[in-house]
């Protein structure tokens, strides 16, 4: 009999709702699409040969770095947040409206790209310790970029709070100029918001708020999750991903769990993040049982884009479907990133390396014969000056063993 496509296998076994969602998953070469937006989603799922051979499992990578607008899964999220805001009337194309976001970079790049395509200006606030490649790229895209000193979320100077405050100030100043408090905001805006100095004064501000805006995980529930399910023909044993906002892991988990109740959803968490404890113990504190104290982890990481110390709406939306968490150190992330280059020619950024490390651990726990899916979020080219500067060059004649990667000495 002629082989059926993965989509046919899956849709045959599922409801009308599934058919609708899965019907949008493309197979074969895509038809001509509309602009950069048409290049978002339907990314390949490929087998990582070295890790599959070593573990006896099938380790599959969703190549999200191939999203064709900003080169990361944040393309899906940016499009979803912009479309939702347009539907609600909070953003009006070609009106002078300005999109504000606090981001480690990826979401900013996706927003700035789509802002160009839809006639908005983007104003991106990011912590100053993130790789320069990302802010340089944002400037090339014509975004206004604030690199602000890293600060806890409880402080107004925090990159997320700054983006929210600037958006509110712009909207207030342009909606009701007679209002005294808005006038105060407007003068504050002029002195602190370079978007005003860029000559854009007519539009409103809109804070996309990727951490709390549920249009974020909806993009993964409607796109990434159904795509993985269809590409696997409905057969997978584990899904492993890190969380920066939680949108990816929640959206994919919420889609997969009802269809595959036995699937194991695993959080890959970098050192210093509180989410490991949130998944394991329900709280975001390190519980030092012996000392009887509770404290937040205060460990720095060179990994960008994942790991947080607060509960976001997007993470909490899917938390009950996350079965376990694996902590990955910087040293382990570096060892895995180098392995992927050495063995497979896969050149990715730090969060992808964390994901792959945790995917291997998950595969070894499950035992041979299982299928584990993870995400490759962005290219190593975004991380040359920081993560890859630490990781160094991968020599031409090395022959690393997976044990060496798994047992690498932690640097903390």
3 state SS of 268: strand
243 lies in the site for ligand PMP, by CB under 6 A: yes
74 carries an active-site annotation? yes
Residue from 203, 242, 272, 307 binding ligand PMP (CB under 6 A): 242
Residue from 55, 351, 374, 379 binding ligand PMP (CB under 6 A): 351
Least Å distance, CB 70 to ligand PMP, is 10
Region of 184-192, 225-233, 300-308, 403-411 interacting with ligand PMP (CB under 6 A): 300-308
348 lies in the site for ligand PMP, by CB under 6 A: no
Strand order in the sheet with 98-102: 144-148, 121-127, 98-102, 205-207
Residue from 108, 203, 226, 244 binding ligand PMP (CB under 6 A): 244
Nearer to ligand PMP, 55 or 216 (CB): 216
Structure tokens at 129: 């310790």
3 state SS of 240: strand
Distance of CA 26 to the CA centre of its chain: 22
Query: Rg of the chain over CA atoms, in angstroms?
Result: 22
Give one DSSP letter per residue of 210-236, joined into a string: TTT-THHHHHIIIIIHHHHHHHTTT--
Least Å distance, CB 244 to ligand PMP, is 3
Least Å distance, CB 183 to ligand PMP, is 36
Residue from 327, 349, 357, 391 binding ligand PMP (CB under 6 A): 349
Nearer to ligand PMP, 189 or 306 (CB): 306
Any residues with CB less than 8 A from the CB of 167 and at least 6 apart, and which?
98, 100, 205, 206, 207
CB 304 within 8 A of CB 350: yes
Catalytic residue selected from 74, 257, 264, 343: 74
393 DSSP assignment: P
> Between 93 and 112, how does the x/- string for binding to ligand PMP read (CB under 6 A)?
-----------x-x------
Nearer to ligand PMP, 85 or 243 (CB): 243
Q: Which of 337, 118, 129, 307 is nearest to 208 (CA)?
A: 118
Q: What are phi and psi of 45, to 5 degrees?
A: -115, 115
239's enclosing H/E stretch is strand 238-241
Residue appearing with tokens 């402080």: 155
Q: What distance in Å separates the CA atoms of residue 24 and residue 195, rounded to the nearest whole number?
A: 38
Least Å distance, CB 305 to ligand PMP, is 3
Pick out residues in 194-213 that bind ligand PMP (CB under 6 A).
none
CB 357 within 8 A of CB 336: yes
Nearer to ligand PMP, 160 or 232 (CB): 160
Nearer to ligand PMP, 227 or 378 (CB): 378
For ligand PMP (CB under 6 A), the number of binding residues is 16
Least Å distance, CB 225 to ligand PMP, is 12
- Rounded to whole angstroms, what are the CA distances from 222 to 3, 184, 208, 319, 387? 26, 42, 19, 18, 32
Nearer to ligand PMP, 306 or 333 (CB): 306
Residue from 80, 110, 248, 271 binding ligand PMP (CB under 6 A): 248
Pick out residues in 370-389 that bind ligand PMP (CB under 6 A).
377-378
Least Å distance, CB 249 to ligand PMP, is 6
Nearer to ligand PMP, 211 or 229 (CB): 211
Q: What distance in Å separates the CA atoms of residue 33 and residue 377, rounded to the nearest whole number?
A: 23
Give me the active site residues, please: 74
Chain contacts with ligand PMP (rule: CB under 6 A): 104, 106, 242-248, 304-306, 349, 351, 377-378
């Amino acid at each position: 009999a002629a082989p059926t496509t993965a989509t046919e296998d899956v849709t045959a076994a599922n409801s009308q709702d599934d058919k609708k969602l899965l019907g949008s998953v493309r197979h074969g070469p895509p038809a001509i699409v509309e602009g950069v937006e048409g290049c978002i989603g339907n990314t390949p799922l490929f087998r990582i040969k070295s890790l599959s051979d070593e573990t006896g499992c099938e380790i599959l990578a969703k190549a999200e770095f191939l999203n064709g607008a900003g080169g990361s899964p944040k393309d899906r999220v940016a499009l979803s947040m912009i479309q939702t805001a347009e539907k609600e009337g909070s953003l009006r194309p070609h009106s002078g409206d300005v999109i504000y976001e606090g981001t480690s970079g990826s979401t900013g790049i996706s927003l700035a790209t789509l802002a160009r395509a839809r006639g908005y200006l983007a104003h991106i606030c990011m912590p100053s310790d993130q790789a320069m490649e990302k802010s340089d790229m944002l400037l090339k895209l014509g975004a206004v970029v604030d690199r602000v000193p890293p600060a806890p979320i409880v402080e107004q100077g925090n990159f997320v709070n700054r983006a929210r405050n600037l958006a509110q100030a712009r909207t207030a100043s342009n909606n009701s100029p007679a209002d005294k408090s808005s006038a105060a905001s407007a003068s504050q805006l002029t002195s602190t918001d370079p978007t005003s100095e860029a000559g854009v004064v007519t539009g409103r501000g809109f804070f996309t708020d990727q951490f709390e805006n549920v249009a974020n995980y909806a993009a993964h529930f409607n796109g990434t999750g159904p795509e993985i399910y269809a590409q696997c023909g409905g057969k997978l044993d584990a899904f492993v991903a890190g969380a920066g906002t939680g949108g990816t892991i929640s959206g994919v988990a919420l889609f997969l769990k009802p269809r595959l109740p036995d699937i194991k959803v695993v959080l890959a968490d970098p050192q210093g993040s509180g989410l490991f404890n949130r998944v394991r113990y329900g709280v975001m504190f390190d519980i030092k049982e012996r000392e009887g104290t509770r404290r937040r982890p205060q460990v720095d990481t060179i990994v960008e884009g994942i790991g947080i110390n607060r509960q976001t709406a997007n993470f909490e939306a899917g938390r009950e479907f996350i079965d376990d968490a694996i902590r990955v150190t910087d040293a382990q992330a570096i060892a895995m990133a180098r392995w992927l280059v050495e063995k497979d020619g896969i050149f990715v950024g730090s969060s992808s390396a964390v994901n792959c490390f945790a995917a291997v651990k998950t595969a070894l726990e499950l035992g041979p014969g299982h299928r584990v899916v993870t995400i490759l979020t962005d290219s190593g080219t975004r991380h040359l000056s920081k993560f890859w500067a630490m990781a160094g060059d991968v020599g031409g004649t090395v022959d690393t063993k997976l044990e060496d990667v798994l047992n690498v000495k932690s640097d903390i």
